[in-house]
A and B are shown apart, each in its own frame.
Chain A
């Protein structure tokens, strides 16, 4: 553990980056999607403009949906705490089983509170929309938890070839799980809502919608940084290297996720059980096969 002022400064800088970068990375994602469509697309700062605009608008909440508004604020608090915690752990070299489990608990808490937002709304369409999110989370959380657990176990076998192979398989599985958990195509959440005319955020407006959008973007950043934190950070000796790996790695992975989602079509949520189940089962069998070899 590097308990130096340098680590503390790096933790603060990384936390600030994790608060400021996600909307800009979303701007990059929108630019990439526009480039694939042969369009100019919005400016890189467009998502920041959207958030600031929503923040200055009126907040209209229907009667009986006060609890949904509260869950949004709790979700934003958890998202900010999660990004700050991940930054601190990475800067101070806290990459053992305990810190990773703590981060995963916060990720699952964030997912649960976003599911609760739709269920707590007085609008039945918001409840219907939250079913899609609940189903995808139930299917994908198993793969996410399993991949992180396998990556932690794989570290014990390093530096043998078996350890690196096991870590590679579990990291690949984690990439798929993080991609699906980020709510992008083919199992998107927010983008699907305008077409389905239902979704967890259908009744949110103004600052509450800004809070929901911002916490979702921070969640995406955490999910893009998670594979680097779990699989790469333990092998980097200095705080500088770990922080740099997290910032550059998460930005690169966000871009890769953006290209992947822009080239994929939307899939039915019920098909996620079959396709994701097949990927996670095959990966686990491969991991066990290498372990037994």
Chain B
């Protein structure tokens, strides 16, 4: 049975997704961040590509809105890098849903991404992807209870230097 064969109304889903993204502008405009119709469409396309390349399927409205709303108050986002960053965040999100073995919820992953992005990564997508989220995924795979590395003193938390070796 080919599941993709029955998932026909993607166009319908896309339309409503774009509308939902545009509606977010009302809330994000207070931070000087807005998305055009074209940018919204690009986000939806990025999501479709990320889902496909990571072998995932999404049914509800998805996480684009959640990412937009979570990241809109980041001091490292401006109108000039807003759209590009969102596209990258969407790609990273689905990649790490797989890498974290679906062990953490959408909301928790987004909230951790935002926390790392604003704090330890200082707005760097590369550090977020290659350092913080790799460590998070490693900790989850090895069953470390403080997988998010929030308790600095814990011995079992992932050690960056050891991992780099």
Q: Does B associate with A?
A: no
